[in-house]
C-alpha cells in the first residue's frame, strides 16, 4: 500500500516493524498540535564558569509531555518534527517561552551580568526565509535583551549553502544576539567556516569530553588543540557533557573556561533551576566579607 511505500526503505515487514512504524505515524500526527495543546515543556541546563563553579547562563531544552506516553526526550521527536516541518512552530514556542522565563529570573536575580540564554536552532528553522524577522519580533514582544541571547547551531545547518548561511548569520548578528556552533567536531565544519562565519563560541561535543582520560595523553592534546585553534580564531569555548571532576579539572587546566554537564546539573525544570539560583545567591552573599556593609 502507499502507506508502506511512503516509509521509504522498508523491505521486510514484521510485527515489530509495524509497531515502530505505527508509533512514528502517531507521533508525526500528534506532534503537529503539541505546541498548540500546551504539551511542550522547557528544562534548563546551567552553563557554568569552570573556575568558580558559578552559573552564568543556561541552555533551554524542549520536552514533550505526551498525553499517554509520558515525558518524551528530544531524541524521540525532534527528527520527526524536523522532517514534517512542525519544528518551526516548536521553535517559535521555545524561544518565546524561554525569553519570558529568563526575563523573570533577570528581574528576580539581578547580577552584574544578566543570565545568558541559549536556544537551539535546527537546520530546518535556520533555512526559513522569515527566521530573522520572526526572532526580531519575539525579542521585541518579550523585551528580552538580545545581548543575553545565544543561538546554538550545528554544522549540518550550515554546510548546504555557505553564502545563504553566512547572510542569515550576519543578519542574526545584526540583531545583537550571540552565535554558538554546537556539537563541534562531529560534523563537517572546516577552518574556512570558522574563520568566515560570525560565530562567538564553539561547543566542544561531549564525545571529546567523555574521551578525556588522564592516562591517555592524546585525548587531552586533542582538546588542547581545539582550544588553541579557537583562541587564534577569537572564539570562546564551552565544553559539553562534563560528567566527572576529572573532566572538569582537565578542561580547566587546558584553559577551557566554560562548560555544562551532569557534574554540575542535569537539565532542570523551572522550579528546580530557580532553587539553584537562590542557593548560589545565598552562598555568594555569605562569601562577602562580614563588614562589607560598613565600608
Give the residues lining the site for Mg ion (CB under 5 A). Answer: 120, 152, 182-183, 240
Closest CA to 172 of 157, 194, 150: 150
Least Cβ distance, residue 3 to ligand C2E (angstroms): 28
Tell me which residues in 58-77 interact with ligand C2E (CB under 6 A). 61-62, 73-75
Q: Does residue 45 interact with ligand C2E by CB under 6 A?
A: yes
Rg for the chain, CA atoms, rounded: 21
Q: CA 256, CA 114: separation in Å to the nearest integer?
A: 22
When binding is defined by CB under 6 A, the residue of 27, 34, 78, 172 that contacts ligand C2E is 78
Identify the helix (H) or strand (E) that includes residue 101. Answer: helix 87-108
The β-bridge partners of 203 are 238
Whole-number minimum distance, CB 159 to ligand C2E, in Å? 16
Lookup result for grid cell 573556575: 51
Longest dimension (CA), the chain: 81
| 241 counts as binding ligand C2E under rule CB under 6 A | yes
CA pair distance 202, 177, nearest whole angstrom: 15
Answer with the entry of Mg ion, ligand C2E, none that 74 interacts with (C-beta below 5 to 8 A by kind): ligand C2E
**42 — phi, psi (to 5°)?**
-115, 140
By CB under 6 A, name the one of 132, 144, 182, 202 that touches ligand C2E: 182
From 150, 183, 204, 220, residue interacting with ligand C2E (rule: CB under 6 A): 183
From the list Mg ion, ligand C2E, none, partner contacted by residue 168 (C-beta under 5 to 8 A by kind): none
Segments of 100-200 assigned E as strands = 116-121, 149-154, 178-184
Quick one: which segment of 117-125, 171-179, 184-192, 217-225 binds ligand C2E (CB under 6 A)?
117-125
Residue 57 or residue 241: which is nearer to ligand C2E going by CB? 241
Q: Helix crossing, 131-142 with 162-175: angle to 10°?
A: 10
Is residue 91 a contact residue for ligand C2E (CB under 6 A)? yes
35 C-beta neighbours (distance < 10 Å), count: 21
Residue 75 or 289 with smaller CB distance to Mg ion = 75
Alpha carbon distance 122, 87 (integer Å): 8
Nearer to Mg ion, 30 or 72 (CB): 72
Smallest separation (angstroms) from ligand C2E to the CB of 119: 6
User: In the complex with ligand C2E, which residue's Cβ is closer, 111 or 138?
Assistant: 138
In the DSSP assignment, the letter for residue 213 is: B
8 A C-beta contact, residue 166 and residue 195: no
Q: By the 8 A CB rule, do 215 and 187 touch?
A: no
Q: Which is nearer to Mg ion, 37 or 73 (CB)?
A: 73
**Binding partner of residue 262 among ligand C2E, Mg ion, none, CB under 5 to 8 Å per kind?**
ligand C2E
Binding site for ligand C2E (CB under 6 A): 45, 61-62, 73-75, 78, 87, 91, 94, 120-122, 152, 182-183, 206, 240-243, 260-262, 267
Amino acid at each position: 500500500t502507499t502507506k508502506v511505500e511512503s516509509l521509504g526503505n522498508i523491505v521486510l515487514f514484521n510485527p515489530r516493524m509495524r509497531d515502530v512504524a505505527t508509533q512514528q505515524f502517531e507521533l508525526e500526527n500528534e506532534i503537529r498540535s503539541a505546541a498548540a495543546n500546551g504539551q511542550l515543556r522547557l528544562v534548563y541546563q546551567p552553563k557554568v564558569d569552570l573556575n568558580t563553579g558559578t552559573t552564568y547562563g543556561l541552555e533551554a531544552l524542549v520536552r514533550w509531555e505526551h498525553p499517554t506516553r509520558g515525558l518524551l526526550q528530544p531524541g524521540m521527536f525532534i527528527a520527526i518534527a524536523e522532517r514534517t516541518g512542525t519544528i518551526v512552530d516548536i521553535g517559535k514556542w521555545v524561544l518565546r517561552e524561554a525569553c519570558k522565563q529568563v526575563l523573570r529570573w533577570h528581574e528576580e536575580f539581578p547580577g552584574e551580568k544578566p543570565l545568558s540564554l541559549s536556544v537551539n536552532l535546527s537546520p530546518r528553522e535556520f533555512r526559513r526565509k522569515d527566521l530573522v524577522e520572526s526572532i526580531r519580533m519575539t525579542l521585541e514582544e518579550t523585551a528580552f535583551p538580545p545581548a543575553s541571547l545565544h543561538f546554538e547551531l550545528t554544522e549540518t545547518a550550515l554546510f548546504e549553502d555557505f553564502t545563504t548561511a553566512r547572510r542569515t548569520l550576519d543578519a542574526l548578528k545584526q540583531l545583537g544576539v550571540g552565535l554558538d556552533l554546537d556539537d563541534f567536531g562531529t560534523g563537517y565544519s572546516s577552518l574556512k567556516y570558522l574563520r568566515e562565519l560570525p560565530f562567538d563560541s564553539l561547543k566542544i561535543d561531549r564525545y571529546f569530553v567523555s574521551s578525556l582520560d588522564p592516562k591517555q595523553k592524546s585525548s587531552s592534546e586533542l582538546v588542547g588543540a581545539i582550544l588553541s585553534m579557537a583562541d587564534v580564531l577569537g572564539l570562546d569555548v564551552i565544553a559539553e557533557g562534563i560528567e566527572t571532576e576529572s573532566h572538569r579539572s582537565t578542561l580547566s587546566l587546558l584553559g577551557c573556561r566554560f562548560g555544562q554537564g551532569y557534574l554540575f546539573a542535569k537539565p532542570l525544570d523551572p522550579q528546580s533551576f530557580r532553587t539553584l539560583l537562590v542557593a548560589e545567591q545565598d552562598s555568594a552573599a555569605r562569601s562577602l566579607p562580614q563588614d562589607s556593609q560598613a565600608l
